Amino acid sequence: MNVVQRPGLTAGRPGRRSDPAAVVTAVTQASAPTQTVPVASVSAASVSAGPVSAGCVHPSAPSELADTGIQLLAPDGTLVAEPRFEVLADHDLRLEFYRSMVLARRLDAEATALQRQGELVLWIPLRGQEAAQVGSAQAAGPRDFIFPSYREHAVAWHRGVPAAEVLRLLRGVSHDGWDVAAHNLANYTIVLASQTLHAVGYGMGVLLDGDVGTGDPARDTAVLVYLGDGAMSQGDANEAFVWAASFGAPVVFLCQNNQWAISTPSRRQSPVPLARRADGFGFPGLRVDGNDVLAMHAATSWALAHARGGGGPVLIEANTYRMAPHTTSDDATRYQPADEVAAWAARDPIERLRRLLATDVDAAWFDEIDDQAATAATELRRDCLALDPPEPSSMLGHVYAEETADERDQRTWFNAYRDSFL
């Protein structure tokens, strides 16, 4: 790889990037719990990583893979004492997390139904990953830029993208989805891990603009990029890690390890937790309970602050589960073992927050949230059906800033061809 050194883009940003060991210390010091919380009785290792087909994984995969990762809220709804991170005390934000996760699950179910009824070409369900997405999205500030993969609907909705806009691509009425600049949220990419390179490029731009490590919260900016456990094996992802590390780009790589890359179990792709791959690139890696919205929020908040402050990249592995098929074209019962599905259902991200909130929120509030979600689903259906196909020749638009003579010729030919059918 040829690295051209440019003024203002200093490899390694000496004195500002932290080595992994120092970062662990920094996390410990910066985030020492300030309140006493009851320790959960649920053992982190109580849920196994689940069986897989014979001969397809490393037989000696260490038990580390069964570790839940950093956890603040146990599946039974009790708070967990965690030496590195504080439990979010903001009650209103906890309520907002719950509302956002319930909404995402309901909208996801509605979109699945719309696909089954022929209104969408395809749907890519997020069920099970609500905490990983909502907790991390909340940690990003308005200046931060987010690069999703293709399953991050809860990120988009939580960031304020109108629900139906997330369906435009998969209704086949648009090449994209929403106004990227309005939300600082890139459109989806289907080419696995390509977005990690886009994110690092953006992060290097942020460095060149000098918007990292100034100490001014109105200026410092980080980049948050989502990728899957399967995408972690792509060359693009690994090249992105190298570049981000080499230049200290302010990028948080958020890997949602939902245990499956279509029908390939993540254990086949790595015998150790994916977070440990960060060691080899020289930046911090954290394994987090991805079904714990409080832990996801705490860890991503820390990682983004680290990046904004000039500390360089961080990898977070959100240990979660895909509680639905890969897409509506997939039959996951062919490969996801039923007992594995059941074990993860017991760790449901929404149920555990509900158990915590139920200690001081009455049942009527939960009913009200369900009603809001039902209304939002009805509106999503209405708005989806109103998404009409665009004028066909518009697919030739926006290739260049200004239309070329060649494009004009193509448009003329295309319109004449289309009109020949009328």
Ligand X SMILES: Cc1ncc(C[n+]2csc(CCOP(=O)(O)OP(=O)(O)O)c2C)c(N)n1
Catalytic residue among 17, 106, 297, 326: 326
CA distance 166 to 323: 20
User: Residues in the site for Mg ion, rule: CB under 5 A?
Assistant: 228-229, 258, 261
Contact 353, 293 (CB under 8 A): yes
Question: SS3 for 228?
Answer: strand
Q: Is 347 a catalytic residue?
A: no
Examine the residue annotation and report whether 326 is marked as an active-site residue of this protein: yes
Q: Does 326 bind ligand X (CB under 6 A)?
A: yes
Reported in sequence order, the residue ranges of 88-190 that DSSP labels E, i.e. its strands, are 145-147
* Stretch near ligand X under the rule CB under 6 A, chosen from 26-34, 112-120, 173-181, 186-194: 186-194
Residue number, 57 or 212, with CB nearest to ligand X: 57
Closest CB to ligand X among residues 125, 312:
125
Contact stretch for ligand X (CB under 6 A) within 109-117, 223-231, 270-278, 286-294? 223-231
Output the smallest distance, CB 262 to Mg ion, in A. 8
| Residue 262 binds which entry of ligand X, Mg ion, none, CB below 5-8 Å type-dependent | ligand X
Measured from each CB, the residue nearest to ligand X is 228
CA–CA gap between residue 259 and residue 264 (Å, rounded)? 8
Extended beta strands in 258-398, E state? 260-261, 264-265, 285-289, 314-319
322 is catalytic: yes
Strand partners, 253: 225, 315
CB of 307: closest distance to ligand X in angstroms? 22
- Tell me how many helices (H) and strands (E) the chain has: 15, 7
- Could you write out the DSSP letters of every residue in 245-286? HHHT--EEEEEEE-SEETTEEHHHH-SS-GGGHHHHHTS-EE
When asked if residue 151 is in the footprint of ligand X (CB under 6 A), the reply is yes
- Rounded Cα distance, 81 and 72, in Å: 7
Residue 190 binding partner per list Mg ion, ligand X, none, with a CB distance cut-off of 5 to 8 Å that depends on partner kind = ligand X
- Length reported for the chain: 422
Among 121, 122, 262, 399, binds ligand X (CB under 6 A): 262
Residues identified as active-site = 322, 326, 335
Would you tell me which residues interact with ligand X (CB under 6 A)?
151, 190-192, 228-231, 258, 260-262, 322, 326
